[in-house]
Chain A
Amino acid sequence: MTQIHIQHGRIIDPANHIDGVGDIYIVDGKIAALSNPPEGFKADIVIDASDKIVCAGFIDLSSRLRDMGHSRKGTFKSETRAAASAGVTTLCLQPDTRPVMDATSIVEYTKDLAERTDYPQIYPIAALTQKLEGIELSSMLALKQAGCIAVSNANAPVKNLLILRRAMEYAASHDLLFICHPNDFSLSNKGCAHEGAIASRYGLPSIPEAAETIALAECLELAELTGCRVHFGQLSCKGSVIKIHQAKKYGLNVSADVAIHQLHLTEHDIIPFDSAYHVLPPLRTKEDKDYLRQGLASGAINSICSDHQPHDLDAKLGAFPETESGISSLETLLPLMLKLVSQHAISLEQGIAALTQQPADILRLPTGALTVGFSADVCIFDPELEWQINSDTWKSRGVNTPFWGQTMKGRVTQTLQAGKIIFSLEAR
């Protein structure tokens, strides 16, 4: 097996409280040693990481790779390539695949597709309810045994609180993490923009913050009642940050993430009717954005996800309310995280932890750190390297990013997954 020596890089590993220039030695796909080479080490490959940062590979809690019924938007091959180039070594697949991730055969098929890509580790999230219809429970245990890492109803509603309670109780019985995307469907009422001054001016169907905070409050109550471990995905507003903060203080076993774009964009960006900014939950106010940033800095929000949703061109061509929501966002994950650091919203260590150690803890995976013995999932990036988003640099099949044409700062130069180089910038 190949032995790899990564040398002279600035190693940042929040899980092990490491921040300093040093070397990493990889043997048999695992981290064999830091600083001094293990006995008998003879490098087959030497990676010079001078002036670069070396950290654990990123773990993305929410991605959609499309394929199956959606290959116009993206395929496992195109999207995992994009993920590898973005430093992502582990990603969680939302259950709203086509067909829905509610049967072991679909999990097997997904794993088969994933294996053929030879790229990041993919963990499917199982559907909480059959066909995501919110009525009958899915076979959660079988799905877990087949390889699903958590359960979620994605962005589909659960019919009522009794069914949600039972689903959470059942998930808790099998020690399954429930990933909740809080949204009260009666209140969000098919809206497409934040309920505020901008939606009012443009006459757009709007979603109040209460659609999120009420659903979140209900789920927190049920977390206490059922003892289910809950992770809240893609929070969008101030009220949610406050509620999560209080729940943690109270001692509930909950965690939360935020989509990277929510930390940079606001309702003003949709002016006038720019479908590239159509996301759900919607982009909210500057105050909400600032609270989300503070929540990340204070630890109320544990992690950052890409919420990657590639689309074909047609999906975004139309009058704003009729376009599909979502941003193709894997490849901007690192530069936008680094932008938070340069804007002093969070420290570099916090930013890296939010993409590595924190999601690993949430998923209870032995990864997200450069601990000796762990799988050698490593991301090496140049924090100063500037690059433009264009068809030469972009890998995702979905070009639906509002940052298209912009210059980004910070770029992954190598990604290693289980000791294998799955992306190298020079070899592009």
Chain B
Amino acid sequence: MYPNIQLNSDGKLKHFLSIEGFDKTLLTDILDTAASFVNPVDGQIKKVPLLRGKTIVNLFFENSTRTRTTFELAAKRLSADVLNMNITTSSTSKGESLLDTIRNLEAMFVDMFVVRHAISGAAHFIAQQTAPHISVINAGDGQHAHPTQAMLDMFTIRQHKPDFSKLRVAIIGDILHSRVARSEIQALNILGVQEVRVIAPKTLLPAKVEALGVTVSHNLTEGLQDIDVIMMLRLQKERMTSALLPGESEYFKCFGLTEEKLKIAKPDAIVMHPGPINRGVEIDSKVADGKQSVILQQVSNGIAVRMAIMAMAMQHNGAIV
């Protein structure tokens, strides 16, 4: 099994690399801790001194606006010092330069790395190689995992549907290339939902997808029946050029979420999207901006949830949550 380097010897969170290997108690702890940062009256997020004197480096080897910004805001609300580094990799021996980058930053007395990288397993590699006092948070690695996104999605779902055990959740779109989908599927299963259903053409589903703990549908109309939560995924344009799909309009016709299709799901179903949205490709504007959409709440929740994860991961390093 996954030798859980994510926990320290006391079973406390140290790295946050993947949802895999965590139990329901820990995931619920994260959600509860995140909730404690939100002012119940106005929904504002408090500034707390939990990570005062700590240095957090946002190490982004891949472009990102939303994720990096909310990580930065979260770190600042925790009173940490934040350094943003955007590194575009061009060298062929990325492994070597990646390690060298880490070694150099370690020498600057850093306490935490928030890492985004285009290669699956990069965050795990950094966590294995880095000095023992440093925590690593995965902000997305290749097609592997994006666990903080999954947790903010769980937080958003819980705000609307507190009992996970009753839920049927549909994830729609490019599951094959989606680290978000992989992490969401793991989190939903650990939190005990009734069903996770993936809806996509075969070209956008990984091999043996059922083994991830999902049911499969290739038809949106059928797939949306009885669904409580709809999670849309972004469709990258390059999927058309690599012969995975014939074209945007056919995709929208088959798998695009319109008001009409939305009616097939349960009447109180919520619509989610990790962003950025391709309007008119995977989702109609009317749905994205409609009553059932919680897409902007997801973004807001990103701050509290990332605060919770960062604070909990630093407990071994003196933070008291």
User: Residues of A with Cβ closer than 8 Å to B?
Assistant: 195-197, 199-206, 208, 271-273, 314, 317-323
Contacts and interface: CB of A to CB of B under 8 A. Distances in A.
Contact of B207 (A196, A202, A272, A321): A196
Contacts of B182: 201, 203
A202 B142 CA distance: 9
Interface of B: 1-3, 18, 20, 93-96, 98-99, 117, 119-122, 124-125, 129, 141-145, 179, 182, 206-209, 211-212
Central interface residue in B1, B2, B95, by most chain A CB within 10 Å: B95
A318 B119 CA distance: 10
Contact of B143 (A203, A208, A317): A203
Contacts of B119: 319-322
B94 A318 contact: yes
A117 B92 CA distance: 34
B8 to A, nearest CB: 17
Nearest to B178: A203
A322 B119 CA distance: 8
Given A319-B122, A321-B120, A321-B142, A199 B95 contact: no
A206 B93 CA distance: 21
Contacts of A322: 94-95, 119
10 contacts: A197-B211, A199-B206, A202-B120, A206-B206, A272-B18, A317-B125, A318-B96, A318-B125, A319-B121, A320-B119
Contacts of B18: 272
A317 B179 CA distance: 23
A321 B206 contact: no
Contacts of B121: 202, 204, 272-273, 319-321
A319 B179 contact: no
Contacts of B120: 202-205, 273, 319-321
Given A272-B124, A320-B121, A321-B142, A206 B94 contact: no
A199 B207 contact: yes
Central interface residue in B93, B144, B182, by most chain A CB within 10 Å: B144
B2 A272 contact: yes
A3 to B, nearest CB: 53
A197 B124 contact: no
Contacts of B143: 203-204
Closest 7 CB pairs of A and B: A318-B95, A203-B143, A200-B206, A273-B121, A203-B144, A197-B211, A319-B122
